[in-house]
Amino acid sequence: MIKNYLNKFSLKKKKAYIIGGCGLLGSEITEALLSASSQVYVFDNDKKKGNLLKKKFINNKFTFIHFDLENLYQADKKMRNFIKKNGCPDIFINCSYPATKEWKLSSFKKNSLNLLRKNIDLHLNSYTWLSFKICEAMRQKKIPGSVIMFGSIYGLVGQNMSIYKNTKISENMNYSIIKGGIINFSRQLASYYGNYNIRVNSICPGGIVGHTKGLGKKQDKTFLNNYKKNCPMKRLGSPEDVASSALFLASDASSYITGTTFIIDGGWTAI
């Protein structure tokens, strides 16, 4: 009799906490985990999108919690209290993208020390601290959990300046610092918590079809064409491409995978 390997992808009786679950990637990851029968709690500061997801997933095991990362002390306290009341998750995914209103000024030409420090605190510090505290909660409860953090190809390689030519988009100094830190911290977490059967991996997407952070609109057509020319698969990724990988890393199908940098980039970093 053939083994049913699809059962390894089932998240039945699993509880998932997703920070940033209302975003471009987060909402797709939420749907992927729900499709595998997980109970999903989405933490996000976008109440409007949260209410839309409530309606979309009304017959599923979905809960929305308003959650703001701007004050990390309050966010930490809220998460600790939520865990005390609702239990520790089996799966923790942080796909949030917190940034200041001046994020688009993070280029080498326009960046400032104040802007750098604010975004390091808002993005990098919230990622690392909350992931650490979730790992600790899993360790204390002896839960063989899966933690998934989000890096980027630009936490691994330098940004290709040619793709910004003739566009209003520029390189982002602060982004590369933040994502590089997240990627290596996920390795450190994996090294320490592997002894407690807790897996930690980082997903590193390449360019994804959607809006441009800080500009609030769809990507520039020239940027899209420039990007495609430099990508071996000649396209950007989709939220579905990322969500499928998140489902794999969250499930028992990846039970011996930890400390990896899971690259989803159409071959961008291969050349």
pTM of the model: 0.96
Which residue type does 19 have? Answer: I
Token pair of 186 as six digits: 């996920």
pLDDT per position as a tens digit, 169-201: 999 999 999 999 999 999 999 999 999 999 999
pLDDT attached to residue 219 = 82
Show contacts of 69-73: CB within 8 Å, 24+ apart: 69/19, 69/45, 69/96, 69/98, 69/122, 69/126, 70/45, 70/98, 70/122, 72/121, 72/125, 72/126, 72/129
114 phi and psi angles, rounded to 5 deg: -65, -40
pLDDT attached to residue 63 = 97
pLDDT attached to residue 157 = 97
Task: State the Cα–Cα distance between residues 32 and 103, nearest whole angstrom.
Answer: 30
pLDDT attached to residue 30 = 98
Task: State the Cα–Cα distance between residues 176 and 110, nearest whole angstrom.
Answer: 15
Instruction: Classify the C-alpha dihedral 254-260-265-268 as positive or negative.
Output: negative
Catalytic residue numbers read 175
Instruction: Classify the C-alpha dihedral 142-146-152-157 as positive or negative.
Output: positive
pLDDT attached to residue 168 = 87
**Which neighbouring-strand residues pair with 142?**
none
Which residues of the chain are under the pLDDT cut of 50?
none
Structural domains of the chain, with CATH: 12-159+172-213+238-265 (3.40.50.720)
